Amino acid sequence: MHATSILHEAAPAAAGAAPRFKVVLINPYELGRQPFALASATAWLARAGFDVECIDLSLEKLAPAKLEDAGLVAFYVGMHTATRIAIEALPKVRALAPGAHLCVYGLYAPMNEAFLRLRGAGTVLGSEFEPALLDLAQRLRTAGAVPPRGNAVASLGKVAFIAPDRSRLPALARYAKLILPDGTRRVAGFAEGSRGCKHLCRHCPVVPVYRGRFRAVPVAVVMADIRAQLAAGARHISFGDPDFLNGPAHALKLARALHEAFPDVTFDATIKVQHLIEHAALLPELARAGCLFVTSAVESVDDRVLEHLAKHHTAADFERAVRLLHAAGIAFAPTFIPFTPWTTLDGYVALLEAIANLGLVESVPPVQLAIRLLVPEGSYLLDLAGFRERLEPFDAGLLGYPWRHDDARVDALQTRILQEIADAEAAGRSRRQIFTTIWQWAHEAAGRPPPALRDAHFGAPVPHLSEPWYCCAEPTSQQLDLV
């Protein structure tokens, strides 16, 4: 059903003609951010007269009182970690709300549809979820049951975006903060300027869902959301678009509107290396508008690996992007997938050397040095010739296809580094201390003496969020304790 027809049907409910019906929206985890996808769904449902409760499992327990009398419970799964937490929570929600219809929506829902249904989900919706979620709630409220058409994964039809409603979520100040180089912390908001992506990087979870398409959210809607978050105390906005420069003109409109209305508010964004180079002329204006740092999925400095991943940039392009951002006065926050089936010990050392030689040690969260390639169902990696032969059978617990490296030393190094990072961060060790340890271990594993690291290798501390960007980590025991 088209969004405009759904909103037209919603008017009688909003006026009080329809019976009350309770919807509970649950966010398992979203990088410490206040979840946009719950705020957006709340706005659509509340406008149609639904009673809406929100539970954010990153901050609060699965409260039985909130689930009481729920007719619909919908989990948002925007990332891999969130999906694994949702899978743990689904049976518990079924026990606490036996009369509720269970729905899972978001980027990771379609690719895990079969397993989510086995865990109790009655409806699975994709990323353009708002119209379909509202339609589902309306049919449950009217008929008390969902006809077969309500069980299908949602299409990528255009959404008539409205301003999100964050009033039912935990206070913004409880979420991830911006940390400045001097240690000052600012409350950070989270806005969505677009969805989807034009590109087809083989390992990216956006690709199987959007298949090269993206949707721009109107500037007026984004600014309304930002104003509400600034009123709640935010002084920095993190744009969660898969790529802020998928639509360069749209991105500039957002940056200009934000800076014109709130010149003291800063922001960060995710931008592809390829776009940093293609749109280098825009970077100085983004800096003047308040862009403090850019996150970019560099992934590797091995051109062979980058070709397998279809990143459409090279190691040399990475270095060029660093120089362009530095010249514009914007900090660079690269992310990596250092452990892949094609990684060699020498290749891992080369990655560390590139980070050090570019003075980026302080710019890289240690977890980025330990991430292992995730291969979920539907991944475009599965289309690579000979790649499936490297994989083990699908693991429902992992929500992916496990793989072992041909060189057992590479897997052993990844396991050792991952544990070191967890232990070191728990002990409060700095990024440069952790990097130094990993530097030594990696060189030893490759049978090479580790060169001495100098201050220039580490670089200066950069602005960053208190919770680092990554999407494929194991759920922690603390996270699962809240389920």
Lowest mean pLDDT among 13-17, 132-136, 315-319: 13-17
In DSSP terms, 105 is beta-bridged to: 76, 125
pLDDT attached to residue 155: 65
CA distance 131 to 126: 11
- Average pLDDT along the chain: 90
Lowest mean pLDDT among 93-97, 282-286, 439-443, 472-476: 472-476
For residue 205, the SS3 value is: coil
For residue 313, the SS3 value is: coil
Of 33, 404, 383, give the one whose Cα is nearest residue 237: 33
pLDDT attached to residue 157: 73
Other Cβ atoms less than 10 A from the Cβ of 312: the count is 15
CA distance 402 to 390: 9
CA distance 460 to 448: 27
Say if residue 200's pLDDT is above 70: yes
Contacts of 143-150 with C-beta under 8 Å, sequence gap 24+, read 146/101, 146/122, 150/123
For the chain, report the end-to-end CA distance as a whole number of angstroms: 34
CA distance 102 to 201: 32
Of 248, 246, 268, 271, give the one whose Cα is nearest residue 258: 268
Say if residue 7's pLDDT is above 60: no
DSSP classification of residue 264: T
Torsion of CA 434, 437, 439, 444, to 10 degrees: -160
Other Cβ atoms less than 10 A from the Cβ of 99: the count is 8
Q: What are the φ/ψ torsions at residue 86 (nearest 5 degrees)?
A: -60, -40
Of 192, 191, 185, 187, give the one whose Cα is nearest residue 214: 192
CA distance 247 to 216: 8
**pLDDT digit string, tens, across residues 107-149:** 899 889 988 999 999 999 988 899 999 999 999 999 876 655 4
Average the pLDDT over 376-399 and give the result.
Answer: 92
Average the pLDDT over 15-26 and give the result.
Answer: 78
User: Is 77 within 8 Å of 127 (Cβ atoms)?
Assistant: no
Enclosing H/E stretch for 297: strand 291-299
DSSP, residue by residue, 24-64: EEEE--STTS--HHHHHHHHHHHHTT-EEEEEETTTS---H
In which residue are the tokens 């403090």 written? 292
In which residue are the tokens 């008929």 written? 143
Band of residue 213 on the pLDDT scale cut at 50, 70, 90: confident
User: Is 242 within 8 Å of 107 (Cβ atoms)?
Assistant: no
Of 61, 32, 142, 77, give the one whose Cα is nearest residue 467: 32
Question: What does pTM read for this prediction?
Answer: 0.90
DSSP classification of residue 392: P
User: Is 41 within 8 Å of 197 (Cβ atoms)?
Assistant: no
pLDDT attached to residue 1: 31
Q: Which amino acid appears at position 309 of this protein?
A: L
Enclosing H/E stretch for 121: none
pLDDT attached to residue 269: 97
Say if residue 173's pLDDT is above 70: yes
Of 475, 476, 469, 472, give the one whose Cα is nearest residue 372: 472
Say if residue 240's pLDDT is above 60: yes
